[in-house]
Amino acid sequence: MTVYIITLITSVFFAFLYSKSKRNSFFLKMLLFLSIFLPMALRWNIGTDYKNYYEQILHDVQPALNKWGGFDIGWRPLLIFIKYFEIDIHFFFVVVSFFTLIFIFKLIDKKTAPIAILVYICSIWLESLSPVRQYFAVAMATYGFKLYWKEENKKGIILIILSCLFHRSCFLFLPILIFVRPIKLSPAVIICIFAFSWLFFHIVNVPNILYSRVMYAMFGNASRYFSAESEYGQATRMGTGLGVLLKEF
Taking only the tens place, the pLDDT of each residue in 131-185 is: 899 999 999 999 999 998 887 788 999 999 999 999 988 988 888 777 767 677 7
Q: Which residues contact 58 (CB under 8 A, 6 or more apart)?
A: 89
Task: With cut-offs at 50, 70 and 90, classify the pLDDT of residue 227.
Answer: low
* DSSP state, residue 212: I
Question: What pLDDT score was predicted for residue 23?
Answer: 81
Residue 53 half-sphere exposure toward CB, CA atoms < 13 A: 25
Q: What is residue 231's three-state secondary structure?
A: coil
pLDDT in tens, 29-62: 999 999 999 999 998 888 778 888 899 999 999 9
Contact criterion met (CB below 8 Å) for 156 and 144:
yes
pLDDT at 222: 66
pLDDT of residue 244: 58
The confidence band for 126, taking pLDDT boundaries of 50, 70 and 90, is: confident
Nearest-5° angle of CA 193, CA 196, CA 202? Answer: 130
> DSSP per residue over 145-207, as a string?
HHHHHTT-HHHHHHHHHHHHHH-GGGGGGHHHHHH-------HHHHHHHHHHHHIIIIIS-HH
State the Cα–Cα distance between residues 92 and 96, nearest whole angstrom. 6
**Contact (Cβ atoms closer than 8 angstroms) between residue 97 and residue 105:** no
Predicted confidence band at 129 (pLDDT cuts at 50, 70, 90)? confident
